[in-house]
Chains A and B, each alone.
Chain A
Amino acid sequence: EAGVAQSPRYKIIEKRQSVAFWCNPISGHATLYWYQQILGQGPKLLIQFQNNGVVDDSQLPKDRFSAERLKGVDSTLKIQPAKLEDSAVYLCASSLVGTRITDTQYFGPGTRLTVL
Chain B
Amino acid sequence: GESVGLHLPTLSVQEGDNSIINCAYSNSASDYFIWYKQESGKGPQFIIDIRSNMDKRQGQRVTVLLNKTVKHLSLQIAATQPGDSAVYFCAERPPQPYSGYSTLTFGKGTMLLVSP
Among B44, B102, B107, contact of A107 (Cβ-Cβ < 8 Å): B44
Q: Are A104 and B43 in contact (CB under 8 A)?
A: no
| Residues in chain B near residue A100, CB distance under 8 A | 102
Residue of A nearest to B106 (CB): A42
Given contacts A39-B7, A41-B109, A42-B89, contact A105 B99 (CB under 8 A): no
At the interface, yes or no: A50 with Cβ under 8 Å from chain B? yes
Q: Which of B31, B51, B93, B103 has the most CB of A within 10 A?
A: B103
Interface residues on A, range: 20 to 34
Q: How far is the CA of A100 from the CA of B32 in the complex (A)?
A: 11
Which residues of A lie under 8 Å from residue B100 when comparing CB positions?
99
Among A11-19, A64-72, A90-98, the stretch in contact with B: A90-98
Is B107 within 8 A of A45, CB to CB? no
Bound complex: CA A41 to CA B8 (Å): 8
Inter-subunit contact B43/A108 (CB<8 Å): yes
Q: Is the CB of B106 within 8 A of A102?
A: no
Say yes or no: A42-B107 contact (C-beta < 8 A), given A98-B101, A101-B102: yes
Q: Is the CB of B41 within 8 A of A109?
A: yes
In whole angstroms, what is the CA distance A106 to B106 when docked? 14
1/0 per residue, CB under 8 A from A, across B22-63: the answer is 000000000110101000011111100101000000000000
Give bound CA distance, A32 to B33, whole Å. Answer: 19
- Bound CA span A98–B99, Å: 10
Residues of chain A lying within 8 A (CB to CB) of residue B102: 31, 95, 98-101, 103
A107 touches B43 (CB 8 A): yes
Which of B32, B44, B51 counts the most chain A CB atoms within 10 A?
B44
* A48-B45 Cα distance, complex, nearest whole Å: 19
A residues near B (Cβ < 8 Å) are 4, 31, 39-45, 48, 50, 55-56, 91, 93, 95, 98-110
Q: Enumerate chain B interface residues (CB-CB to A < 8 A).
A: 6-8, 31-32, 34, 36, 41-46, 49, 51, 89, 91, 93, 99-109
4 smallest A-B Cβ distances: which pairs? A40-B7, A42-B106, A107-B43, A107-B44
